[in-house]
């Protein structure tokens, strides 16, 4: 009898907690996670994950050479256990030209400006923000940059609550030029790059967004809606949609000449909950990004689904909720 009362009491508290923090049933959360559980990735470095990541990357002779020359940087955050994340990276603080990936800095700067009352959250702006992220539209991005100004973007990236560009940690996210052929430049202080990133700072961006730490939990959730369902099917996305068509992908990539970058927060079933970032300077960088996904998932112990499993993913599970409530 006492045991039954305990079970009922526990169930009631679980339902109450779920209602308060956006938890779905069966112990799976929608994003963002409760901010109280946020952890800085540098405090969550995993020696085991680091060794496993390095091993799988360095097994490939081509990747090994690129890493040695600092032309390839890869980082990973395992968020399967939201109360105890794990982090590892290779060349994580090495800043590189990142093409369109730093448009996520423009997104955060715009949302920050809206929250401060400096920018109107109009339908036109909402459309431009979605085009900027989902389709990487340069014209839309340039319009948002013009509304903000480079100083506002730099201020947002360097302000104390984010420190997404930290001169003492190799730099980070930076946008100092419109996404147009002409125009003034405000390059970053360290390497004089116009569109730059480090793997570690991009990982921090996604982790903060996943835990409601970008501006506020409400604004982080709004940002996640701009990031989800990317409309460019290449690199990470191309592989993920083959592996698990039902997983949620929050993503921004970039490509220019030999520079290829990709970043994604993957939120799905079978333990497929992680953040992956890659910056590569090589003509085959896009292909490398695609191949990275299965390698990283093997590091995380995620089994690749069979053809039967893939069919079930596409059909949808029976009597089981989707992981993320959109």
91-139 pLDDT tens trace: 999 999 999 999 999 999 999 999 999 999 999 999 999 999 999 999 9
Q: Which of 32-41, 231-240, 277-286, 307-316 has the lowest mean pLDDT?
A: 307-316
**Nearest Cα to Cα of residue 174 among 152, 195, 159, 201:** 195
* Residues whose CB falls within 8 Å of the CB of residue 289, separated by 6 or more in sequence, listed in order: 235, 236, 253, 260, 262, 278, 280
247-275 pLDDT tens trace: 999 999 999 999 999 999 999 988 899 99
Contact 215, 224 (CB under 8 A): no
pLDDT tier at 29, thresholds 50, 70, 90: low
Contact 320, 295 (CB under 8 A): no
* Peptide bond before residue 125 is cis, with ω within 30 degrees of 0: no
53-68 pLDDT tens trace: 999 999 999 999 999 9
Q: What is the CA radius of gyration of the chain?
A: 20
Structure tokens at 237: 């996305």
Percentage of residues in the chain having pLDDT higher than 90: 82
Q: Regarding the domain delimited by 43-315, which CATH topology (the fold level of the hierarchy) does it fall under?
A: Beta-lactamase (3.40.710)
Structure tokens at 204: 């921090």
**Would you kindly state where each structural domain of the chain is located, as residue ranges?**
43-315
In this prediction the pTM is 0.87
């Amino acid at each position: 009898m006492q045991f039954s009362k305990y079970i009922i009491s526990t169930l009631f508290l679980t339902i109450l907690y779920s209602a308060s923090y956006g938890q779905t049933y069966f112990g799976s959360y929608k994003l963002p996670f409760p901010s109280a559980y946020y952890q800085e990735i540098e405090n969550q470095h995993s020696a085991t994950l680091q060794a496993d990541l390095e091993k799988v990357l360095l097994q490939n002779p081509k990747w090994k050479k690129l890493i040695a020359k600092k032309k390839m940087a890869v980082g990973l955050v395992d968020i399967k256990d939201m109360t105890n994340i794990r982090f590892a990276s290779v060349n994580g603080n090495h800043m590189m030209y990142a093409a369109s990936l730093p448009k996520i800095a423009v997104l955060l700067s715009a949302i920050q400006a809206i929250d401060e009352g400096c920018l109107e959250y109009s339908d036109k702006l909402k459309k431009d923000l979605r085009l900027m992220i989902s389709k990487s539209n340069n014209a839309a991005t340039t319009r948002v940059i013009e509304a903000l100004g480079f100083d506002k973007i730099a201020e947002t990236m360097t302000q104390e609550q984010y420190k997404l560009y930290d001169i003492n940690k190799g730099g980070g996210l930076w946008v100092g030029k419109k996404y147009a052929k002409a125009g003034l430049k405000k390059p970053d202080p360290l390497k004089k790059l116009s569109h730059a990133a480090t793997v570690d700072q991009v990982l921090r961006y996604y982790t903060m967004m996943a835990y409601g730490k970008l501006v506020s939990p409400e604004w982080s959730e709004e940002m996640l809606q701009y990031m989800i369902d990317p409309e460019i099917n290449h690199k990470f996305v191309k592989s993920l949609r083959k592996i698990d068509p039902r997983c949620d992908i929050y993503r921004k990539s970039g490509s220019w000449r030999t520079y290829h970058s990709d970043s994604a927060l993957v939120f799905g079933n079978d333990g497929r909950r992680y953040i992956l970032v890659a910056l590569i300077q090589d003509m085959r960088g896009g292909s490398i990004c695609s191949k990275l996904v299965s390698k990283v998932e093997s590091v995380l112990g995620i089994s690749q689904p069979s053809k039967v499993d893939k069919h079930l993913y596409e059909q949808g599970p029976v009597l089981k909720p989707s992981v993320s409530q959109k």
